[in-house]
Structure 1
Amino acid sequence: MPIFAYQSLNSNSSTEHGISASNSQHFTRMTHDSIAANSSRWMLSMPTADGVAPHVPVHGPAELLSTAQQGYMAKGRHDDASFLAMVQGKARQTHQQLIRALGGCDLLVYGELDGSHSAWNSMQQNAGQLFSVSSASKACNCFSVHAANNSQHRALGEGFGWVAIRTGNVNAVFVHVPNAIAKSESAAVDFYKGINNHLLHLGAGQIDIIMGDTNQPSNGFTQRILGRAVGQAFADAHPGATIQPYDSYQRSFGGTNSTGSRKYDVAVYNTATVGVDNMVYLSQCTPVSGQNGSSAAAVTDHMGIGIEVVK
């Protein structure tokens, strides 16, 4: 029963894949200010321990945090070292949240991040061993794949907007679907059909699960398009319209994007080949320290996803 997680950053189209490509980008700033407009205490921050492997459980109670003030993620307020520390903290939070929610995490995939860039090298100590990287020309099209144990995974291929990994006997495809494709039903069918045909050509079987930023124009779009592309029924692992992230307390959202209005980040599974035991969303935020103690700040515009798959 592999456990997969996906978290996308908000990176720009720079051919330089360092931290500056992801530092306080437009939609990250919008996300933070949107969340901070409601100043209630809502984020559950789990204890973490620097210097130990990120998948090792750290025991202790959660701390309930409010959001840092609006403008906290303003452009130029955080240098690259400071922003990197926030992303590293988010990675450790992700592991600790998933340990409690799902029992751990076998594979953590980052969209819009090039883990092979030297500036991101320390992510291996905070997200897990670097298993593979899809380094596209633009930072926003990259993927970085991290694992607790590299031996149980097999890279199945990659292309523009996707990377496929086989863990155990499950074929997982992680996507950042280009907007031009996501908005067109025929283009989206061709996109997913091409991925599925690639897996079939390898003899690996069909797509079991799609995870990531689909940029879908409406709820239900991705599973419907996948059904046409693959010829089997797909289902959303979280079919509801209201999202309460696992790291939140009494706070919900209507979507996974910067304004909480669109459900772009999803996990959609092939009902003919796999089942889902559990699935959670994680917010865009991570704990930060300030003069008034700890608070939460958004490091991306995308919610994270964790899912336990059975086959």
Structure 2
Amino acid sequence: MSSMIDSINAFGREDFFTYGLFNSILMILLFLGIAYILRSMIQRYVKRKQFSNEAFIMRMVRIVIYTLASYACLSLFKPFDSILGKLWGSAGILAVVFGLAAQESLGNMVNGILISTFKPFHIGDLVKVDNGEYEGYVVDISLRHTVIQTYENTRIIIPNSVMNKAVLENISLSSSNANFLFLQISYESDLDKAMQIIREEAEKHPHYMDIRNAEEIAADMPNIVIRVIDFMDSGIQLRATIPSRSKAEGFAMLSDLRISIKKRFDAEGIEFPYPHRTIVYKKEEI
């Protein structure tokens, strides 16, 4: 039995296998098993540490581990000895050629690593890119690109080289969101009364958030700041800054407030302005 195993193991040892048939199969299984165990251990560590870019990190880990495992398995076959040797010998030349051919892809990969390392944003964050040109939630960060899901439920794929250089506003890093409500009232309306109605309606809304500290509350500082920002042709332009917990809640709150304030203005005699035109007829002399 032992001699039969030895004879089978000796099959192709000099021509194809470096260590014999059985030994090569066992070593291949060993390499793949080590790669699987190592990947599983790193994945458990990443989950335990709750890294925000878990998917990106695990892609990098799988590429590195299985590339090394593949090289180790190929080294067990005689025909690949010369190929692997020449590959290492020409690694510098290949790196230059590959770098020139895939310059943009490598740039995206490097920028993806920088994004994952310095973490200017995480998966799930609400971001504005380039002063609001793109806006939405980050749903994926890969080696090549970052995916943003917009409010319209579409997905924008931005290369990491662009994302890393862009002017980025991470709205999720803030504990509150300032929402601007623009209103016009007529010149004949009571300005103080109109501002009081805006404050009362905003403070009643469930999405309204009081961001004042204890000292500001004790000093009776207003949480809702209302400014007269312009005198328009037909009326007075007001801007109320109303805090909320998030941009989504702020959007819904402003929509509700426009309805409730309109009803209060109608009941309290505050008028919205209409365009006025004064037409002067010049009498022609006969």
TM category, shorter: under 0.3
Please state which structure has a larger fraction of its residues in helix: 2
Please state which structure has a larger fraction of its residues in strand: 1
Pick 1 or 2: higher relative contact order, CA cutoff 8 A, min separation 6: 1
TM-score (norm 2): 0.21
Structure whose alpha-carbon radius of gyration is higher: 2
